[in-house]
């Protein structure tokens, strides 16, 4: 048994978080903490229950949320995970538990502190996403369209389609969110968002530095 058996670590992905949620629901507990595993796998992670990501388990959990709630509730869960509220994993987990118990009506419980926080955080997420879109400054280098973002919320998954839609499909794209270590790429028509945690850490606003580091390390 870990030293802190009511604390959990995961790989930082949405699927990984859902796997933690499944474990905690099965154990019938509210975790004290859910955190991303350290980049170097440091010794402090031994204090946590380290949960492996299993896409099958995550997909089943997401489907159950939709069955007990709705597609809109599924989207709320995902959006909540993208926000920058403190302890977002704990709040999102508590919200999931309420949905599984009471159904989609929980989303209307604005007097509930957790539900209210999530609604406000999601509003902030989409406001910031629109602001990032409006000030996106693309620079062209060797046929690549590049930009560096540093948003409070994890807006890149929200703005992905809008960004790629405005750029000619023949052009390669590299948009880096340095705060959340996410890279939006479109190379040779293939689109993807890469979690570069543990692979790439570019702490700069300079797109030339981004270009050099990206192509010294082929992602």
Mean pLDDT over each residue of the chain, to the nearest integer: 89
188 by DSSP, 3-state: which?
coil
Q: Domain boundaries in the chain?
A: 7-127, 136-216
Beta bridge partners of 147: 175
Q: Distance (Å, rounded) from C-alpha 104 to C-alpha 199?
A: 39
DSSP state of 69: S
How would residue 2 be classed by pLDDT, with cut points 50, 70 and 90?
very low
Encode pLDDT of 40-72 as tens digits.
555 465 688 999 999 999 999 999 999 999 999
Q: Distance (Å, rounded) from C-alpha 43 to C-alpha 21?
A: 24
Contact yes or no for 64/100 (Cβ under 8 A):
yes
Three-state SS annotation for 79-105? HHHHCCCCCHHHHHHHHHHHHHHHCHH
185-191: average pLDDT: 91
Encode pLDDT of 92-110 as tens digits.
999 999 999 999 999 998 8
Q: Distance (Å, rounded) from C-alpha 52 to C-alpha 47?
A: 15
Contact yes or no for 177/203 (Cβ under 8 A):
no
The Cβ of residue 115 has, within 10 Å, a number of other Cβ atoms equal to 19
């Amino acid at each position: 048994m870990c030293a802190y058996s009511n604390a959990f670590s995961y790989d930082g992905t949405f699927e990984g978080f859902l796997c933690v949620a499944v474990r905690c629901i099965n154990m019938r507990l509210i975790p004290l903490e859910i955190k991303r595993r350290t980049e170097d796998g440091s010794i402090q992670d031994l204090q946590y229950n380290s949960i492996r990501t299993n896409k099958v388990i995550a997909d089943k959990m997401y489907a159950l949320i939709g069955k007990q709630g709705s597609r809109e509730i599924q989207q709320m869960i995902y959006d909540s995970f993208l926000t920058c509220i403190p302890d977002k994993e704990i709040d999102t987990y508590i919200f999931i538990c309420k949905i599984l118990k009471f159904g989609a009506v929980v989303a209307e419980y604005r007097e509930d502190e957790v539900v209210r926080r999530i609604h406000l955080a999601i509003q902030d997420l989409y406001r910031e996403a629109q602001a990032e879109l409006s000030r996106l400054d693309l620079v062209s280098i060797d046929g690549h369209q590049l930009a560096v973002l540093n948003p409070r919320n994890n807006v890149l998954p929200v703005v992905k389609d809008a960004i790629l839609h405005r750029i000619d499909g023949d052009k390669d794209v590299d948009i880096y969110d340095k705060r959340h270590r996410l890279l939006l790429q479109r190379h040779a028509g293939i689109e993807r968002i890469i979690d570069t945690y543990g692979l790439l850490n570019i702490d700069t606003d300079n797109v030339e530095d981004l270009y050099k580091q990206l192509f010294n390390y082929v992602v």
